Structure formats: structure tokens, C-alpha cells
Amino acid sequence: EVQLLESGGGLAQPGGSLRLSCTASGFTFSSYAMTWVRQAPGKGLDWVSSISPSGVSPSYADSVKGRFTISRDNSRNTLYLQMNSLRVEDTAVYYCIRSSGAAVGPAWGQGILVSVSS
Amino acid sequence: NFMMTQPHSVSESPGKTVIISCTRSSGSVASNYVQWYQQRPGSAPSTVIYEDNQRPSGVPDRFSGSIDISSNSASLTISGLKPEDEADYYCQAYDSSGWVFGGGTKLTVL
């Protein structure tokens, strides 16, 4: 069974930092691209960042470019999102997603709340 | 970049069939696979359709996906509606840099 467990969320002040982690199990982590998507309270889904299986060629939404960094440790089956210079508008539930593969669709984690407030 | 536009809400009775549309604003809908996600209240999204029309294991065959090049849109069809199908549904496609989501459609099963 595929499991994706996010951690590291919580309350941060504007301008502060947080690092999210997503620990994966139930599939060969190093074979899949991984993605972060967020959902602000009462709003729709918003793509944040994606990373290839090998960890090269990350991509970012314009709203987080230069502030967030996605990375992965395939030896630890873990995906990261380093969030710096946080803004109030970054407040959201952040979801870790395993991208589609051979005959399997995207798999979602349960999400982790990040609140940015003074 | 393109946008994916969905109706804000749809409603239908149990046992009926509902179709949720998702129209791509530019470029061909056939250029990139479309996925559909279901999000029940208070829960994380889950995949009900991927790669236009593929159903993950465990998703009932009441759920089906298609694309229509003439209208440049994708559709999610749910037949034999059940109360537990009441949820928000999001379409998603890939562009050159990342993922593009539709705004979501709230399905009410009356």
C-alpha cells in the first residue's frame, strides 16, 4: 500500500522558515517524480513544485520561485520542501504527491497545515 | 500557459448520471494527459481518473473519463450516483513547467 506521510508543518511568522518532509513507503520512491500541491483555506488546489526521480530539474510555481526549494533523498525515501521568506498567503494545507507511473495514477498524502501569521 | 475551466457546481439525484466538464483555454486538450481528483469534505484529494481515462484500482467503474478535441475539453462522467459521491472534483493537466488545476466543481447528490 502506498503511503505518503507529511510532517514539519505548523505556525510560522511572516519572513520565517519551515521545512516540510514527506516520507514515502509502499513503492520504489526513486522511480517516481514527486510534487507538492497546496490548498488555502476554502480554496482550490494550487501546484507548488515538482522534482524528477533523480532530483534534477526541479520546477516551481511563480508564486514560490526563489523562496521555496524542493529536494529529495532517495536513500531515505523522503521528499522535502524548504520554505523561506514565508508570507501570510502561503497559509495552506500542503500535500505530497507521487506522480503517475506505469499503470498507476497519482497518489496523495493526507496533507499538513502551514499557518503563517504574526 | 493555459487555464482549465470547470463549472462551479452541479447537482443530480441518486442513481442518475452526471458529467463534469473541464475546458482548456489554449493548446489542445489532447497534448497533455488530464487527471481528475475527488475531495470529500475534510479529506485529502484522491485520484479517480488519470491519463484521460484510466481508473486507479479501487475506483468503481461508475467513474469514467474522456476528452473531446472538438470542444477542447475533458469530462468526468459518474453514473449510478450515490450519496458518497458528493464531493469537490478537480481536473488537472500538465504544462511545460508544472501542473494546472481547474477551479473545482462541487457535486451535490440531492
pLDDT tens-digit readout, A27-43: 999 999 999 999 999 99
Q: Tell which residue, A32, A19, A18, has the closest CA to residue A77.
A: A32
Q: What is the distance between the alpha carbons of residues B10 and B1, in angstroms, rounded to a whole number?
A: 27
Contacts of B35 in chain A (CB under 8 A): 100, 105-106
Rounded Cα–Cα distance for residues B79 and B77 (Å): 6
> Is pLDDT of A70 > 90?
yes
The grid coordinates of residue B11 equal 447537482
Instruction: Report chain B's mean pLDDT, rounded to a whole number.
Output: 97
Q: What is the pLDDT of residue A35?
A: 97
Contact B49 A105 (CB under 8 A): yes
| Cross-strand partners of B42 | none
B63 touches chain A (CB under 8 A): no
Instruction: Tell me what pLDDT residue B33 has.
Output: 96
* pLDDT tens, position by position, B32-53: 999 999 999 999 999 999 999 9
Name the more confident of B95 and A83: A83
Q: Which residues of A touch B58 (CB under 8 A)?
A: none
Q: What is the mean pLDDT of chain A?
A: 96
How far is Cα B27 from Cα B38, in angstroms, rounded to an integer?
Answer: 25
**Cα–Cα distance measured from residue A6 to residue A20, given in angstroms and rounded to the nearest whole number:** 7
Of B35, B98, B100, the CB nearest to A106: B35
- A107 within 8 A of A47, measured Cβ to Cβ: no
Terminal Cα-to-Cα distance of chain B (whole angstroms): 37
**CA distance to partner chain B, nearest, from residue A118 (Å):** 26
**Max Cα separation, chain A?**
45
> What's the average model confidence in pLDDT over B4-8?
98
Nearest Cβ partner for B54 among A47, A50, A105: A105
Band the pLDDT of A102: cuts 50, 70, 90: confident
* CB of A114 closer than 8 Å to CB of A90: yes
Residue pair B5/B102 in contact by the 8 Å Cβ criterion: yes
